[in-house]
Amino acid sequence: MDPRTSDWAAPKQLRSLRTRAFAVGAVATVVSAIGLFTDHGRFFDSYITSWIFVLSAPIGMLGLLLINHVTRGTWGVIARRVFEAGARSLPVMALLFIPVLIGMREIYTWADPEIVANDALIQEKTPWLNVPFFIGRAVVYFVAWIALAFSISRLSRQQDDNADPALAQRMTSIAAGGLVLYGLTVTFAIFDWLMSLDPHWFSSIYGVYYFGGAALTAFCLLVLLMVWMSRFEPFNEVLRPAHFHDWGKLMLAFTMLWAYFAVSQLIITWSGNLPEEVPWYMARTTGMWKIFPYLIIILHFFVPFVLLLSSDLKADRRRLAGVAAFILVMRFIDIYYQAGPSLHFESWHWLDFALPVAIGGLWLGSFASLLADRPILPRNDPFFDEAVHHNG
């Protein structure tokens, strides 16, 4: 197949994936709606946990898209349309944020005037933690992310019809400035949406901690999707073991980066020994939560770390996909562990499983639809030939 004459159409099987994902998401949504009426409070608490987990996929893909344009690494050329589709799916996540706004008083203690009236520490934070400002900031975050995603995707689509090198340079310029905007908005968004579940606690490293996990989530989804699409044209002729080896190395890198941020946050909090900070960790070492730190240390870090050290495993797409799927499960457990104690979860609830499927199915269907509507490879990218013929 000639990379300059082929249109590199997306595999038709993506439409089937879209249909199945929407069907599963719709069924899970109907099932979850039962929980809205039978256990109103737990519905919204489980919803924010599930939504933040699913959000990490498009957020991670947008971040990797920006990083790839700045670094111009060949590791991202084959994956670019996946990252672009993920980034362009952020409007869907914005729509799925509406239930969070509806259930704010159920989710966030600082949104309940009665609780705020009896809590001096939360009162000190009300200039930031108040409902109108919270909603306004959410609008700013989504507008910034969507603008970055669509501006780069628009230029990338133009590049399919025009090999002008200036287009690549414009995308690099947007990505360079966009990374600064992205870093700030993701940090403050996670402060708002996840960290403020416990308004007494704070961590300045929390934003990059979340991004490390989000990038890892994005790479895991990329590997799973590419293994599946490697059976179809054009990927059955394009993908090589070297591509999966590169993505496996980056999965290893972000596994270590995520662990570094997690340990750094723990060390700083524990050494500071402040009464506002330490209880956050104490609550996560008692009751149903006491097993979670061991699960996360062993299964989220040590097991993937050891497995991904193997060059043979990273070049074997099927075994790498197994590791990617395993890490995705641990990513959900990590988010659940961060949010659950702040939401006073005392046991598992069926909504904790139904809502991730509902939100994830609706997002995956939208993502597959966006991925299918454009050429699957950026054939006029300056590094396209180098990426396609990677390692011969």
What stretches of 203-319 adopt beta strand conformation (E)? none
Please name the amino acid found at residue 202.
F
* Structure confidence by residue, pLDDT tens digits, 251-272: 999 999 999 999 999 998 888 8
How far is it, in rounded angstroms, from Cα 215 to Cα 213? Answer: 6
Using the predicted structure, report yes or no on whether residue 5 has a pLDDT greater than 50: no
How far is it, in rounded angstroms, from Cα 284 to Cα 334? Answer: 12
How far is it, in rounded angstroms, from Cα 241 to Cα 76? Answer: 15
Question: Which comes out higher in pLDDT, residue 49 or 73?
Answer: 49
Q: Which of 31-35, 200-204, 230-234, 331-335 has the lowest mean pLDDT?
A: 230-234
CA atoms within 13 A on the CB side of 383: 16
**What is the average per-residue pLDDT within 229-234?**
86
**What is the average per-residue pLDDT within 210-230?**
96
Choose among 206, 220, 204: nearest CA to 64.
Answer: 220
Query: Measured at the alpha carbon of residue 133, what is the angle toward residues 130 and 139, in degrees to the nearest 5?
Result: 135
How far is it, in rounded angstroms, from Cα 86 to Cα 371? Answer: 8
Q: From residue 192, give the alpha-carbon distance in Å to each of 6, 29, 119, 170, 331.
A: 46, 25, 19, 32, 20
Q: Which of 85-99, 215-229, 235-249 has the lowest mean pLDDT?
A: 235-249
- For the question of whether the overall pTM of this predicted structure is more than 0.75, the answer is yes
Choose among 94, 74, 62, 330: nearest CA to 175.
Answer: 62
Using the predicted structure, report yes or no on whether residue 239 has a pLDDT greater than 90: no
User: Cβ contacts of residue 363 below 8 Å, gap of 6+?
Assistant: 25, 54, 57, 58, 89, 92, 93, 96
Q: From residue 388, give the alpha-carbon distance in Å to each of 71, 162, 196, 203, 391.
A: 18, 19, 45, 42, 9
Percent of the chain clearing pLDDT 90 (strictly above)? 76
Choose among 10, 177, 4: nearest CA to 81.
Answer: 10
Using the predicted structure, report yes or no on whether residue 4 has a pLDDT greater than 70: no
* Structure confidence by residue, pLDDT tens digits, 306-336: 999 999 999 999 999 999 999 999 999 999 9
**What is the average per-residue pLDDT within 133-154?**
97
Within 10 Å of residue 279's Cβ, how many Cβ atoms? Answer: 14
* Structure confidence by residue, pLDDT tens digits, 52-91: 999 999 999 999 999 999 998 888 899 999 999 999 999 9
Q: Is 270 exposed, middle or buried (0-12, 13-18, 19+ CB in 10 A)?
A: exposed
Is residue 21 within 8 Å of 365, Cβ to Cβ?
A: yes
Domain ranges of the chain: 13-375
Residue 175 tokens, joined: 């990505």
- The average confidence (pLDDT) of the chain is 92
Residue with tokens 């991904």: 308
